[in-house]
Amino acid sequence: MARVSREAYADAFRRVTGRPLVALPQTAGRTDSEIFFEALALNEARRGPAADRGDGGAQELLDRYTRVLAAAFSARRNLLAAQGRALPGARQAVAAVASLPGVIQSVLTGTIRPNAAAKLRAFGMDRFFDLQIGGFGSEIYPKGAQLLRARGRAVEKYGADVGPDSTVYVADSSRDVEAARIGGARCVAVASGRWTVGELRDAGADIVLDDLVDTARVCRAVDRLTSPVSAG
């Protein structure tokens, strides 16, 4: 899946800036908007007249890039299942947590919404999430602020209690652990990426798992962090 994403980034960047993407910034734990603007700096790409008009121009440029990135990714959607893979146990964990009483699942990701939906759909997990209340990489907000906004949307839609003691962010990077703290959520960190168990624990995660293979353990972690005893 990483290869598909890189190719889509390069295609969209070239179409929007007119220049090839020679240097791709670090993407782990970053939003697509962050990646795009840092790529502009790294590649010294000219952003054109729109970007010279201040923040409005930057937003216009990002909106254009987001549309082109969605199209570039969609053109490669058939490659997702062939070249990518879901983490071992991910689908089982997502399905099991979705079945817990009172649980509402959404996504807080650096990926833009249509591409996040395509990734979930490729591995049969899209039906477990309400993407309308999530946070995505097309927004120029740090993830902590996006988490606060997502909680607000959940309250508006469901009238549910989604306060700090009933919200769990499942993360895989130290930046996401920090976002959970800023956005008012408990955090289950999974050492499935570049960050080790020790690094995630040091970052402040409430619970750290090696992986998602043990479905019951994942459910226990979510239940523990949202129980009245844990919250108190």
| pLDDT score recorded for residue 24 | 85
Are both 6 and 72 inside the same structural domain? yes
Last residue of a domain, one of 80, 109, 142: 80
For residues 196 and 200, give the distance between their C-alpha atoms in angstroms, rounded to a whole number. 6
More confident site: 181 or 165:
181
Are both 174 and 118 inside the same structural domain? yes
Q: What angle do CA 137, 139, 145 make, to 5 degrees?
A: 100
Are both 121 and 202 inside the same structural domain? yes
Q: Residue 150 in contact with residue 134, Cβ under 8 Å? A: yes
Are both 190 and 76 inside the same structural domain? no
| Phi, psi angles (nearest 5°) of residue 171 | -125, 165
| Phi, psi angles (nearest 5°) of residue 168 | -125, 125
What is the per-residue pLDDT across 29-46, written as a single tens digit (0 to 9) for each?
788 998 999 999 998 865
For residues 104 and 119, give the distance between their C-alpha atoms in angstroms, rounded to a whole number. 19
Are both 14 and 76 inside the same structural domain? yes
Q: Residue 195 in contact with residue 172, Cβ under 8 Å? A: yes
Are both 74 and 96 inside the same structural domain? no
Mean pLDDT, range 153-173, rounded to an integer: 89
Last residue of a domain, one of 80, 96, 118: 80
Sign of the Cα torsion 212, 214, 215, 219 reads negative
> 44: which strand partners?
none
Domain of residue 134 covers 86-231
Are both 59 and 94 inside the same structural domain? no
Mean pLDDT, range 54-69, rounded to an integer: 83
- What's the whole-number average pLDDT of the chain? 89
Last residue of a domain, one of 28, 59, 80: 80
Mean pLDDT, range 197-216, rounded to an integer: 97
CB atoms within 10 A of CB 13: 25
| pLDDT score recorded for residue 55 | 52
Q: How confident is the model at residue 190 (pLDDT cuts 50, 70, 90)?
A: very high
**What CATH number is attached to the domain comprising 135?**
3.40.50.1000
Are both 193 and 221 inside the same structural domain? yes
Pairing of strands 207-209, 168-171: unpaired
Count of domains forming the chain:
2
Are both 38 and 125 inside the same structural domain? no
Mean pLDDT, range 83-105, rounded to an integer: 94
More confident site: 28 or 91:
91
More confident site: 58 or 92:
92
- Residue 121, SS3? helix
Are both 147 and 166 inside the same structural domain? yes
Are both 116 and 171 inside the same structural domain? yes
**For residue 197, pLDDT beyond 90:** yes
Are both 171 and 60 inside the same structural domain? no
What is the per-residue pLDDT across 104-161, written as a single tens digit (0 to 9) for each?
999 999 999 999 999 999 999 999 999 999 999 888 788 999 999 999 999 999 987 7
> 135: which strand partners?
108
Q: How confident is the model at residue 228 (pLDDT cuts 50, 70, 90)?
A: low
